[in-house]
Amino acid sequence: MSTRSQQLFERAQQHIPGGVNSPVRAFRSVGGTPRFFAAGSGSRVIDVDGQSYLDYVGSWGPLILGHAHPEVVAAVQQAALKGLSFGAPTEGEVEMAELLCALMPSLEMVRLVSSGTEATMSAIRLARGFTGRDLLIKFEGCYHGHSDSLLVKAGSGMLTFGNPSSGGVPADFVRHTLVLDYNDSAGLAAAFAEHGPRIAAVIVEAVAGNMNLIAPRPEFLRSMRELCSRHGSVLIFDEVMTGFRVGPRGAQGLYGVTPDLTTLGKVIGGGMPVGAFGGRREIMARIAPLGPVYQAGTLSGNPVAVAAGLATLRLLQADGFYALLAQRSRQLTDGLAAAASKHGIAFSAQSIGGMFGLYFRSACPQSYAEVMECDTQAFSRFFHAMLDAGHYFAPSAFEAGFVSMAHSEADIAATLAAADAAFSAW
Ligand SMILES: *Cc1c(COP(=O)(O)O)cnc(C)c1O
């Protein structure tokens, strides 16, 4: 007897490539059938077979308040009753822009878009338009959405230009993108020494969350800031994942480094499609209709999506929100590390605010090369044992995890008990 998820996945594959609308959902790296979800509430999701799971994916980051938070749902319902879209300005967009600029002091102006990909793509165009330069620096393992110039992996040697990491991206498009090692300040200094006057921008995940989780060395971010300022290059912090997830002012607040431009997404839409990019006024003033850098969107600043984002961002301002979120995340990562160590399993874990990394490796990685050393077979085993026990982790060894404010101490304790059972049967 096949499950409803299996039946739906069979059907899905007839008309949707791979049966999914975003590749990591397909369970390719861990094997098995993706669960189709029917509903979510607080810390839990329920699949179409009626199985309930404690959810540590949270829609890949947005659901910092948990699933279907009543105040967010009410805001969406009220907005929807007034109209789904106008293609004309609305009051909510002004409130959203004011709130984002108040929460993140590096933002003097912001523009709303509908996804993180749009935000980073537009921020890069803007940085190039502002500087009149073409070269972009990114770091291996950081993900900034799926636009052409960002789907690039390192070339064969230091300071060589990248190669496309996806079919369909002309090699010519990524000729302007230099791919360096994350946390390697010396490599960055060398790139600026060679190419400084041609570098339009450096884009970075100030906490890397798309190669599992890698914490930045503080001097890496500081030297990046210093080099960009000295060479007139635009520093872009891609905070699509970290924005309002690692702390009340994002990673830039946590590490005390101020970028020129910031990209946002995920949490700022509270589960609806909202992205944003913003920063210094003199740079933002180059966007159409004020300036020559073109950027637009039919559904940008959509009133229903913005209502969800505003309701979410307001709830994050509660006293002690981030302290409690960080404490819950740490309860999970400390507990998992203790359970693995008790059973002699090579494992490490860490959390930053409401995001965490789990590694089947004895110490937390600090680079892309180190994270690639994690034991992916051990991860798959852990993933399936936890899934069977009703605990839903990201279906890949190279994704960060997320804890929401809806996760109670008892939820985390239940997950730790399941992990202990999984590790003892190792
Ligand atoms: C998720 C993510 C993106 C892309 O956002 P989408 O909304 O999926 O297009 C870009 N940058 C980072 C750091 C992300 O985590």
- In terms of domains, do 237 and 102 share one? yes
- In terms of domains, do 149 and 136 share one? yes
- Output the pLDDT for position 174: 85
Residues 361, 366, 367: CA angle, nearest 5 degrees: 100
Residues 314, 324, 350: CA angle, nearest 5 degrees: 115
Give, in order, the Cα–Cα distances in Å from 101 to each of 93, 344, 349: 12, 48, 33
Q: Do 152 and 168 form a contact (C-beta atoms < 8 A)?
A: no
Contacts of 394 (CB under 8 A, 6+ apart): 24, 56, 57, 60, 400, 401
- Output the pLDDT for position 172: 87
- In terms of domains, do 164 and 203 share one? yes
Dihedral of alpha carbons 49, 52, 54, 60, sign:
positive
| Backbone Cα Rg of the chain | 21
Tens of pLDDT, residues 89-123: 999 999 999 999 999 999 999 999 999 999 999 99
> In this prediction, what percent of the chain has a pLDDT beyond 70?
99
Question: What SS3 state is found at 285?
Answer: coil
Between the CA of 341 and the centroid of ligand 1 the distance, in Å, is 33
For the CA atoms of 53, 58, 60, 61, the dihedral, rounded to the nearest 10 degrees, stands at: -160
Which of 244, 407, 394, 255 is CA-nearest to residue 335?
407
CA-nearest residue, atom 11 of ligand 1: 144
pLDDT bin (cut points 50, 70, 90) of residue 149 is confident
pLDDT bin (cut points 50, 70, 90) of residue 1 is confident
Does the pLDDT value for residue 235 go beyond 60? yes
Widest pairwise Cα distance in the chain: 65
Span 358-381, average pLDDT: 97
Q: Do 178 and 162 form a contact (C-beta atoms < 8 A)?
A: yes
Cβ of 426: how many Cβ atoms within 10 Å?
12
- In terms of domains, do 328 and 404 share one? yes
- Output the pLDDT for position 278: 98
pLDDT bin (cut points 50, 70, 90) of residue 69 is very high
What is the domain-level CATH number for residue 416? 3.90.1150.10
Tens of pLDDT, residues 352-365: 999 999 999 999 99
118 CA closest ligand 1 atom index: 9
Tens of pLDDT, residues 7-35: 999 999 999 999 999 999 999 999 999 99
- Output the pLDDT for position 171: 87
Between the CA of 266 and the centroid of ligand 1 the distance, in Å, is 7
- In terms of domains, do 13 and 96 share one? no
| CA–CA distance, 201 with 131 (Å, rounded to integer) | 9
- Output the pLDDT for position 51: 98
- In terms of domains, do 139 and 284 share one? yes
Please give the mean pLDDT across all residues of the chain.
96
Looking up tokens 């049966």 gives: 19
Q: Do 201 and 235 form a contact (C-beta atoms < 8 A)?
A: yes
| CA–CA distance, 375 with 300 (Å, rounded to integer) | 41
189-222 burial string, b = 16+ CB within 10 Å, else e? eebbeebbeebbbbbbbbbbbbbbbbbbbeebbe
- Total domain count, the chain: 2
116 CA closest ligand 1 atom index: 5
Bridge-based pairing of strands 234-238 and 199-204 is parallel
If one compares 150 and 162, the residue with the highest pLDDT of the two is 150
Between the CA of 355 and the centroid of ligand 1 the distance, in Å, is 15
Tens of pLDDT, residues 152-197: 887 665 556 778 889 999 888 888 999 999 999 999 999 999 999 9
Between the CA of 78 and the centroid of ligand 1 the distance, in Å, is 28
- In terms of domains, do 256 and 389 share one? no
Span 205-217, average pLDDT: 97
Which of 421, 245, 247 is CA-nearest to residue 336?
421
242 CA closest ligand 1 atom index: 13
Burial class (CB in 10 A: 0-12, 13-18, 19+), 17: exposed
Contacts of 64 (CB under 8 A, 6+ apart): 58, 244, 245, 267, 270, 312, 316, 325, 354, 402, 404, 405
Catalytic residues: 143, 238, 266
Query: DSSP alpha helices (H): ranges in 275-360?
Result: 281-284, 303-315, 321-342
Between the CA of 399 and the centroid of ligand 1 the distance, in Å, is 12
| CA–CA distance, 237 with 252 (Å, rounded to integer) | 8
- In terms of domains, do 229 and 91 share one? yes
- In terms of domains, do 11 and 106 share one? no
- Domain extent for 170: 71-315
Final residue before a domain boundary, out of 260, 283, 315: 315
1-5, 195-199, 401-405: the lowest-pLDDT one? 1-5
Span 379-408, average pLDDT: 97
22 CA closest ligand 1 atom index: 8
pLDDT bin (cut points 50, 70, 90) of residue 146 is very high
- In terms of domains, do 155 and 232 share one? yes
Beta bridge partners of 136: 177, 201
Beta bridge partners of 402: 355
CA-nearest residue, atom 8 of ligand 1: 116
Looking up tokens 């480094």 gives: 257
Contacts of 221 (CB under 8 A, 6+ apart): 204, 206, 255, 257
Q: Do 111 and 276 form a contact (C-beta atoms < 8 A)?
A: yes
Q: What is the pTM of this model?
A: 0.97
Pocket of ligand 1 (CB under 6 A): 115-117, 120, 143-145, 205, 209-210, 238, 240-241, 265, 275
Final residue before a domain boundary, out of 315, 345, 380: 315
> In this prediction, what percent of the chain has a pLDDT beyond 90?
93
Final residue before a domain boundary, out of 298, 315, 332: 315
- In terms of domains, do 170 and 302 share one? yes
Token output for 137:
């620096």
What is the domain-level CATH number for residue 212? 3.40.640.10
| CA–CA distance, 415 with 426 (Å, rounded to integer) | 16
| CA–CA distance, 15 with 376 (Å, rounded to integer) | 30
CA-nearest residue, atom 15 of ligand 1: 241
- Output the pLDDT for position 153: 85
- In terms of domains, do 23 and 132 share one? no
Question: What SS3 state is found at 112?
Answer: strand
Token output for 261:
């431009």
